Amino acid sequence: MKIAVLPGDGIGPEIVAEALKVLEVLRGEGVAIETETAPIGGAGYDTARQPLPPATLALAQKADAILLGAVGGPQYDALPRALRPEQGILGIRKALGLFANLRPAFLYPELADSSSLKPEIVAGLDLLIVRELTGDIYFGQPRGRRVNAGGETEGFDTMLYSEREIARIARVGFEAAMKRSRRLCSVDKANVLDTSILWREVVTGMAADYPEVALTHMYVDNAAMQLVRNPKQFDVIVTGNLFGDILSDEASMLVGSIGMLPSASLDAANKGLYEPIHGSAPDIAGQRKANPLATILSLAMMFRHTFERADVAGRVEQAVRKVLRQGLRTGDIAASGQAGVSTNAMGDAVVAALQH
Ligand code: NAD
């Protein structure tokens, strides 16, 4: 199992260091893991004047899976768009064809009070958002600016999905639903957008391949409302890049801190890039305050989806549950007024829980 490790910027190196401790324990138990580290994002720019240095991309291409911390920081904000840190991640997604973004939103009972919603609305919440990642209005051409007939400048983008792109992400959604409670909700805006009308037709057409999955459709504005009204009605949500971007951030707040949530971005062969959903948190970087659990849980997802080692994934997730039950909290999930344990103390506790 070759893992490319890309710590990135800000808290990235701190949280990745804790995930590497977990990998070290697994390696000690005989799990055949090799790791190699490379710079990305601002760190890529600092070392090679590019957010995605060619050597980093080559490492990612030859690895079986990629573990990423986070990228970005105020010192890079003034760079031209092509050199900005996030181009490193966008570049890897594009180059490796990582079209399927899986974002689970799972509420640990111990953290029910961290949610912005009432505990009874979120208790037991366990949903998965499957977001398409390489198409839609973020990549559709043409895009840009033009001067209209009235001499006014306009900005424009193109929302665009092909049948093939819709079918391959829908299949990921159906397959995920088969492994869970067999309920799939496809989210679109078919009352307004032609792209969404095609989306709905393609998804509906595939339902016959999955007779055991109960397929429903929902408009994105209603889905945004239902997620905060009654989030437990959902099992798996499948949606496009733009709607998924917004809904998955909304869902992350249902379960408390973004410091808890992992993600996977997969290609057609389940090779994947695994990363916490949060950013590089420059406000707390270098202070040993960051929560490493989202990164450690991303590692668990890697074992489940790419390495097909659900046993290892389950053990890592159980170790995380154990430290939460023990009462360990970093600042982001601590009760208000409490300082919380350090990044390393949290990582060490997960390692100890894994070993006993
Ligand atoms: P952010 O997710 O970095 O931080 C938002 C807030 O959450 C901050 O207060 C931060 O301290 C806190 N936070 C985030 N992760 C945490 C953790 N693990 N433990 C404890 N607290 C945590 O979002 P932002 O502030 O909007 O962006 C900061 C930088 O990160 C920007 O440069 C942005 O472009 C970048 N970013 C990168 C990614 C990525 O690498 N995938 C994603 C989002 C933002």
288 and 246: one domain?
no
Q: Per-residue pLDDT tens for 166-221?
A: 999 999 999 999 989 999 999 999 999 999 999 999 999 999 999 999 999 999 99
CB atoms within 10 A of CB 33: 17
In a shared domain, residues 64 and 123: no
If you average pLDDT over residues 234-260, what whole number do you get?
91
Residue 227 lies in a domain: yes
The residue among 205, 228, 255 that closes a domain is: 255
For residue 267, indicate whether it is catalytic: no
200 within a domain of the structure (yes/no): yes
Percent share of the chain, pLDDT over 90:
88
Q: Which of 21, 64, 94, 138 is catalytic?
A: 138
Bridge partners for 266 per DSSP: 100, 272
Q: Is residue 87 part of a domain?
A: yes
Print the domain residue range for 164: 116-255
Assign residue 165 the CATH number of its domain: 3.40.718.10
Of the three residues 221, 255, 289, the one that is the final residue of a domain is: 255
pLDDT value at 250 more than 80: yes
| Amino acid occupying residue 172 | V
> Is position 118 annotated as part of the catalytic site?
no
Name the residue with higher pLDDT: 94 or 131: 131
Ligand 1 first shell, C-beta below 6 A: 11, 15, 70-73, 86, 89, 258-259, 275, 278-284, 290-291, 294, 330, 332
pTM: 0.92
Alpha carbon of 86 to ligand 1 centroid (Å): 12
- How many domains would you assign to the chain? 2
DSSP letter at 73?
A: -
Per-residue confidence (pLDDT) for residue 338, from 0 to 100: 82
pLDDT for 333: 87
Residues 205 and 74 in one domain: no
Report the residue among 133, 278, 289 best suited for mutation to probe ligand 1: largest number of ligand atoms under 8 A from its CB.
Answer: 278
DSSP characters over 115-180: SSS-HHHHTT-EEEEEEE-S-GGGT-SS-EEEE-TTS-EEEE------HHHHHHHHHHHHHHHHTT
Pair 121, 210 in one domain: yes
Nearest CA to ligand 1 atom 42: 279
* Furthest-apart CA atoms within the chain: distance in Å: 72
| Domain final residue, candidates 255, 277, 309 | 255
97, 130: one domain = no
Same domain, 192 and 307: no
Q: Is 138 a catalytic residue?
A: yes
Question: Is residue 111 in a domain?
Answer: no
For residue 276, name the pLDDT band (cuts at 50, 70, 90): very high
Q: Is the pLDDT of residue 116 over 90?
A: no
Q: State the pLDDT at residue 45.
A: 98
Between CA 264 and CA 271, with CA 265 as vertex, the angle to 5 degrees is 100
**Claim to verify: residue 222 and residue 193 sit in the same structural domain:** yes
Mean pLDDT of the chain: 95
* pLDDT tier for residue 339 given thresholds of 50, 70 and 90: confident
Predicted confidence band of residue 165 (pLDDT cuts 50, 70, 90): very high
283 tagged catalytic: no
261 assigned to some structural domain: no
Q: Say whether both 296 and 244 belong to one domain.
A: no
The pLDDT, as a whole number, for residue 150 is 97
Q: In what order do the strands lie in the sheet with 2-8?
A: 34-37, 2-8, 65-70, 272-276, 262-266, 100-106, 126-132, 236-239, 183-188, 214-219
pLDDT score at 114:
76
294 CA from centroid of ligand 1 (Å): 12
Specify whether 163 is located in the same domain as 229.
yes
Six token digits for residue 286: 């270098």
What integer pLDDT is reported at residue 337 of this predicted model?
A: 76
Segment 123-127 mean pLDDT: 92
Give percent above pLDDT 70 in the chain.
100
pLDDT at residue 334, as a whole number: 86
User: What is the CA(280)–ligand 1 centre distance, in A?
Assistant: 5
pLDDT at 112: 81
**Which of the residue ranges 139-148, 180-189, 334-343, 347-356 would you say has the lowest mean pLDDT?**
334-343
Question: Among the options 46, 209, 221, 283, which is catalytic?
Answer: 221
Please, are residues 204 and 215 in contact by the beta-carbon 8 Å criterion? yes
Q: Is residue 262 part of a domain?
A: no
Asked whether the predicted pLDDT for residue 264 surpasses 80, the reply is yes
Question: Is 292 domain-assigned?
Answer: yes
Residue 188 annotated among the catalytic residues of the structure? no
Instruction: Over range 113-133, report the average pLDDT.
Output: 90
Q: Is residue 173 part of a domain?
A: yes
Residues 142 and 226 in one domain: yes
Please give the distance, rounded to the nearest whole angstrom, from the Cα atom of residue 287 to the centre of ligand 1.
Answer: 14
Ranges 6-20, 99-113, 143-157: which has the least confidence: 99-113
Whether residue 235 sits in one domain with residue 121: yes
Q: Does the pLDDT at position 111 exceed 90?
A: no
Distance 284 CA to ligand 1 centre (A): 9
244 in the same domain as 224:
yes
